[in-house]
Amino acid sequence: MLLSLRDVTKTYPGATAAVLRGVSLELERGGMLALTGESGSGKSTLLHLIGGLDTADSGVVAIDGTDLTRLDDAGRAGLRRGTVGVIFQQFNLIPSLTVAANIAFQARLAGRHDADRARGLADRLGLADHLHKYPEQLSGGQQQRVAIARTLAPRPDLVLADEPTGNLDEATADTVMTMLHDLVRDAGAGLILVTHSERLAARLPRRLHLHAGRLE
């Protein structure tokens, strides 16, 4: 099993109620699921716990047998460099780097830079003619494609996508989602997609709904 969560809870300091209340789920290697729920239901919090960007109050968050709740900050950062890739709604590209350098950035941090793979990702994502440009010279859809390439370049086992098309129009969102789905599938990686879009959620083989801190 690639991912296993057991009875995960999370309450933020000063909050009167828990954001996550005993969440459990499993995802097999290469599995894909959409995570839906109203605003404030805990979707992004759950994704951040899986990605090691935050820590659970209790429970187990295990990726490939490693319990993230037992890792320190450095251990979780190491996991994000190679095993887990995160795509955000905000593209989070480095404005002073070219498209080519942005794509290579995460893989270089992980010690996994492969120039041929980077070029292949750029070709498949329609970025081959934009590698010399800077993020500000690209459209929103193009910037999100750069973010996808950067995330996939180190060959992560699990990709977490938090509203990755939230800033895009519907047609561009569909195009970007198709590219993301196909690239993750071809890499044999797992995918968890957080989305408000019923249309995008329906494109994945499995769907879970988070309500009031619990999965339905």
- pLDDT of 16: 86
Which domains does the chain carry? 31-54+72-215 (3.40.50.300)
Q: In this predicted model, what pLDDT tens digit does every residue of 44-102 receive, in sequence order?
A: 999 999 999 999 999 999 999 999 999 999 999 998 888 999 999 899 999 999 999 99
φ and ψ at residue 183, rounded to 5 degrees: -70, -40
Q: In this predicted model, what pLDDT tens digit does every residue of 173-204 receive, in sequence order?
A: 999 999 999 999 999 999 999 998 999 999 99
What is the secondary structure of 152-213 as a DSSP string? HTT--SEEEEESTTTTS-HHHHHHHHHHHHHHHHHHT-EEEEE-S-HHHHTTSS-EEEEETT
To the nearest 10°, report the CA torsion of 164, 170, 171, 177: 30
Question: Structure pTM?
Answer: 0.95
Q: In this predicted model, what pLDDT tens digit does every residue of 14-46 receive, in sequence order?
A: 888 999 999 999 999 999 999 999 988 999 999
* 141-144 LR contacts (CB < 8 Å, sep 24+): 141/168, 141/172, 141/175, 141/176, 143/91, 143/93, 144/87, 144/91, 144/168, 144/176
